[in-house]
Amino acid sequence: MAVGIFDSGLGGLTVLDAVSKRLPDVPFVYLGDNAHAPYGVRTADDIFNLTCAATERLWAEGCDLVILACNTASAAALKRMQETWVPDTKRVLGVFVPLIEALTERQWGDNSPPREVSVKHVALFATPATVASRAFQRELAYRASGVDVEAQPCGGVVDAIEQGDEILAEALVRSHVEALKRRMPMPEAAILGCTHYPLMAAAFQDALGEDVKVYSQANLVAESLADYLIRRPEFVGAGTVSKFLTTGDPKAVSSKATQFLRRRIEFEKA
C-alpha cells in the first residue's frame, strides 16, 4: 500500500514530511533524482524523460500512485505523461492542483466558468523551467478571472539549498523578491512554486512583508492526498515498506537530507 513521492532532489522531503504526518499508516517511497538535479534549467523533453524513468522506478517498488513533489516536473512533464504515457492502472499526480484549489477556494472537480476571487495580485516564485512553462498561470486561468500573476524565475536558490548554503539561499531569496517587487510593488499573495522553497519560507515572508500571504505546498498536498486516497483507495499500491532512494551518492544525500529535516534519514541507491 505504498505511495511514491518523487523530486529532482531534496525539496520533495518537505512534502514527504507533511504527508507522513497526515497519513502515518501509509508507507511512502521517496525517490530523489539527485544525480540529475536541478531540473529547473533542463529542457522540457529532458525533464519528461527523467521523470518517466523515476516514475517507473517507483512503480517497481509497488507504488501505483506517484506524487510529483517537484513543481518543475509537474509543470513541464505531467500533462504529457498523463495524456500519452501513464497506463490506466496507475496514477501520477502533481503539486499545482492543491495550491490552485486553495488560492481560488474551489475544488478541482468544479468545472464552472472562471470567476473572480478575492486575491488579485499574485507573486509566483519558481524555477526557470516552471516559469517558462506558464503551467501555473494556465491552470489558474481556467478557474479564476482577473488575477494578475507576476512570475519570478529564482535561479540559484535550489542549488544553494541542495548544497546546504543557507546564507547564499537567503541572499538569493531577497534578491529575487526585490526583482519581482520592481514589477509588482504590492503583491497580495505569494506562491512558493518549488518544493525546496518552504525551507526558505521565513526568508520569503521577511522580504515580502507580513501583509503578504505566503502559500506553501506541503500541507496543502498532504490534505489533498488524504482526500484522494479516501475517494480512490484502489490506487494505493502493493508496496509495504517506507524507504528513501536516490540516483546520487546515498551517503552524501543522507547527510544533506538529515540536515534538511533535522532527523536521521538513510538513503539507498535507486
pLDDT digits (tens, 9 = 90+) for 69-78: 999 999 999 9
Among this protein's residues, is 63 annotated catalytic?
Answer: no
Query: In a 10 Å sphere around its CB, with 0-12 CB exposed, 13-18 middle and 19+ buried, how is residue 78 labelled?
Result: buried
76, 235, 225, 62: CA torsion to nearest 10: -80
Among this protein's residues, is 70 annotated catalytic?
Answer: yes
- The residue from 52, 63, 154, 194 that is catalytic is 194
CA dist., res. 47 & res. 9, Å (int): 13
Percentage above 70 pLDDT, the chain? 99
pLDDT tens digits for 52-90? 999 999 999 999 999 999 999 999 999 999 999 999 999
Q: What is the topology classification, in CATH, of domain 97-215?
A: Rossmann fold (3.40.50)
| Cell numbers that stand for 231 in this block | 475517494
pLDDT band at residue 24, thresholds of 50, 70 and 90? very high
Q: Give, rounded to a whole angstrom, the gap between the first and last alpha carbons of the chain.
A: 20
pLDDT band at residue 109, thresholds of 50, 70 and 90? low
Question: pTM of the entire structure?
Answer: 0.87
CA dist., res. 185 & res. 18, Å (int): 32
Q: What is the mean pLDDT of the chain?
A: 92
Q: What is the topology classification, in CATH, of domain 3-95+218-269?
A: Rossmann fold (3.40.50)
Q: Where in the chain is the domain with CATH 3.40.50.1860?
A: 3-95+218-269, 97-215
Q: Does 108 have pLDDT greater than 80?
A: no
Give the pLDDT of residue 259. 84
Residues in the chain: 270
- The residue from 52, 63, 70, 154 that is catalytic is 70
Give the pLDDT of residue 252. 94
